[in-house]
């Protein structure tokens, strides 16, 4: 790899706070040569020759919307190794056809039903478990657990399988840390999902797996491999992002007390607060694309074959789009962020993620008061490309 390609500047703590470096890069150009990812564990033979990073809103938006030039096939050699072939790594007609089939499992009608039947009961059951203690770690006891339980119920998995499913989900989403274990989890999930698919072929059920088994467009159905791969995709795509974004929002609110109090007094502020949390502390800060041909991006020449970091987190702090972009402010004028990507690969679960976060906040506010962050262990948001607090120790009183 070209040694001129500077990956990281060591004077910045990129895991704790990548934003000062990204702001510096944006001041120079919307695109820079280099990467914000950690390539230190990748063998030289697998490192791409050319690395670039898109950091301005316009650059990130263009990359997402021009999928002919900036291709998602790169996922075949990264996360695709663990989840299998999915829409994430497809482009053009195959992507559209496949996405139409799987999106039948995320109908608006289903979302309306999921809120009272699944999400609210799951969230309230978790609060039941810790409310009497007057203290909790909202990551361990709440933000991690509720999307896991919600997904497992949406899929229609048996209640008693939850501990096994939770463990395999954690192993799969930690694929960058322990990849052998992630491969084992991936294989175990395949067998498990195959059995679930099989049951539904003879006995149709009203859940996501049931919908995927029966989905049909112009006589085309999803293969077993397409279904279990998509189900594995839902773990990093739907579970990890949602638990991290709700942890980020709670941390931001608890460390901006005036905004927290305003929100508790006026529930109308929940929707803008969710959007500001998604903008300001994006749970998935960077995705990647592969340049299929030589092109120009914001005046920078990108050679064919380059790997481009698409820095969503940086785009969301672009000072040319937002005033005081480096401030968390739930009262700011709403301008759409790009947290759920744009173009063909726009997140399929964005309405579900927003609904889950809203219900989580509503239930917490209904049942707890005087929620206070215990700051002894310096809780903070951390990580790259996935970011969230590791713990959120709080004390509170139960609403009587
Ligand atoms: C705050 C929570 C979430 C965030 C920030 C988020 C973010 C994203 C982003 C950035 C992408 C595009 C990835 C790329 O093209 O490289 C994506 C795609 C996707 N998301 Fe989400 N997501 C969230 C929640 C969910 C949920 C709850 C689900 C479903 C249960 C979901 C399912 C998907 C799927 C299936 C795709 C692939 C779409 C395609 O390739 O056509 N996501 N998401």
pLDDT in tens, 198-227: 999 999 899 999 999 999 888 889 999 999
> Could you give the CA distance from residue 308 to residue 33 in angstroms, rounded to a whole number?
9
Backbone angles phi, psi at 382, to 5 degrees: -150, 150
Residue 80 Cβ inside 6 Å of ligand 1? The answer reads no
Q: In the prediction, which pLDDT does 246 show?
A: 98
Element (H, E) at 244: helix 241-254
Average pLDDT score, the chain: 93
Tell me what the mean pLDDT of segment 92-96 comes to.
93
Which region among 68-72, 104-108, 119-123 has the lowest average model confidence (pLDDT)? 104-108
Residue 77 has pLDDT above 90, yes or no: no
Burial of 274 (0-12, 13-18, 19+ CB in 10 A): buried
Residue 3 has pLDDT above 50, yes or no: no
Tell me what the mean pLDDT of segment 19-24 comes to.
95
376 C-alpha to ligand 1 centroid (Å)? 34
Ligand 1 atom closest to the CA of 283, numbered from 1: 5
Backbone angles phi, psi at 177, to 5 degrees: -90, -50
Residue 134 makes CB contacts below 8 A (sequence gap 6+) with 395, 396, 397, 398
**Residue environment code for 331-345, b if the CB has 16+ CB neighbours within 10 A, otherwise e:** ebeeeebbbbbbebb
Q: Where are the alpha helices (DSSP H) in 281-321?
A: 312-315
pTM: 0.95
Q: In the prediction, which pLDDT does 5 show?
A: 38
Q: In the prediction, which pLDDT does 2 show?
A: 39
Q: In the prediction, which pLDDT does 11 show?
A: 53
Residue 248 Cβ inside 6 Å of ligand 1? The answer reads no
pLDDT confidence band for 12 (50 / 70 / 90): low
Q: In the prediction, which pLDDT does 148 show?
A: 94
Residue 339 Cβ inside 6 Å of ligand 1? The answer reads yes
Residue 99 Cβ inside 6 Å of ligand 1? The answer reads yes
Q: In the prediction, which pLDDT does 307 show?
A: 96
β-pair partners for 51: 307
> Could you give the CA distance from residue 326 to residue 252 in angstroms, rounded to a whole number?
13
């Amino acid at each position: 790899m070209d040694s001129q390609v500077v990956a990281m500047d060591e004077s910045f703590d990129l895991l704790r706070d990548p934003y000062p470096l990204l702001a510096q890069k944006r001041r120079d150009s919307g695109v820079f040569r280099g990467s914000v990812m950690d390539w230190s564990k990748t063998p030289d033979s697998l490192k791409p020759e050319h690395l670039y990073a898109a950091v301005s809103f316009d650059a990130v938006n263009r990359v997402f919307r021009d999928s002919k030039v900036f291709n998602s096939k790169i996922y075949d050699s990264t996360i695709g190794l663990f989840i299998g072939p999915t829409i994430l790594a497809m482009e053009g007609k195959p992507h559209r056809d496949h996405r139409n089939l799987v999106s039948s499992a995320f109908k608006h009608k289903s979302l309306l039903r999921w809120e009272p039947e699944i999400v609210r009961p799951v969230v309230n059951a978790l609060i039941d478990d810790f409310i009497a203690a007057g203290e909790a770690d909202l990551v361990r006891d709440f933000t991690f657990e509720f999307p896991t339980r919600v997904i497992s119920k949406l899929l229609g998995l048996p209640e008693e399988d939850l501990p096994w499913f939770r463990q395999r989900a954690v192993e799969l989403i930690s694929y960058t840390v322990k990849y052998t274990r992630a491969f084992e989890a991936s294989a175990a999930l395949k067998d498990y999902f195959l059995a679930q698919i099989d049951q539904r072929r003879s006995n149709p059920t009203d859940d996501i797996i049931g919908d995927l088994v029966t989905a049909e467009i112009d006589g085309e159905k999803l293969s077993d491999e397409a279904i279990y791969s998509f189900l594995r995709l839902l773990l990093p795509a739907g579970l990890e992002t949602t638990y991290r974004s709700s942890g980020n929002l709670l941390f931001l609110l608890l460390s901006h007390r005036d905004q927290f109090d305003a929100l508790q007094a006026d529930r109308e502020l929940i929707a803008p607060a969710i959007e500001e949390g998604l903008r300001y502390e994006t749970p998935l800060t960077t995705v990647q694309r592969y340049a299929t041909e030589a092109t120009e991006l914001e005046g920078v020449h990108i050679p064919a074959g380059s790997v481009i970091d698409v820095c969503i987190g940086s785009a969301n702090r672009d000072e040319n789009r937002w005033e005081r972009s480096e401030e968390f402010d739930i009262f700011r004028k709403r301008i759409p962020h790009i947290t759920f990507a744009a173009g063909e690969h726009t997140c399929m679960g964005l309405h579900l993620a927003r609904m889950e976060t809203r219900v989580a906040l509503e239930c917490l506010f209904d049942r707890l008061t005087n929620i206070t962050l215990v700051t002894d262990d310096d809780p903070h948001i951390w990580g790259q490309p996935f970011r969230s607090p590791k713990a959120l120790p709080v004390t509170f009183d139960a609403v009587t």
